[in-house]
Amino acid sequence: MSNKMQSILKSYARGVLVAITPLITIGSTDPKAYVVAVVAGVIAPGLRALDKKDPSFGLIADVVDAELDKLAKKDSKKKKA
């Protein structure tokens, strides 16, 4: 699994965890509340994924990653010299 996919999955997991934590702390046992919380937790990362200009997960993410890799390679060459 690529680093990008791991980051995306972690983002969704954080969103869901934040959404269900209040239900867990109050001891809620209503399954409908948990379903609603999971849906709510997925909305923010989902919107981020749909954003074409998001540098992490949007359509320009691959371009940003490529540029960062180039900069990292240049930096490592400078340190070796």
More confident residue, 25 or 63: 25
* Full domain range(s) for residue 66: 3-80
Residue 79 exposed, middle or buried by CB count within 10 Å (0-12, 13-18, 19+): exposed
Domain count, the chain: 1
The pLDDT of residue 64 is above 80 = no
| pLDDT tens string 39-48 | 999 998 888 8
Looking at residue 47, its pLDDT comes to 85
Q: Are 7 and 64 in contact (CB under 8 A)?
A: no
pLDDT of 67 over the 70 cut? yes
> DSSP assignment of the chain, as one string?
--HHHHHHHHHHHHHHHHHHHHHHHHT---HHHHHHHHHHHHHHHHHHHH-TT-TTTSTTHHHHHHHHHHHHHHHHHHHH-
| Amino acid occupying residue 80 | K
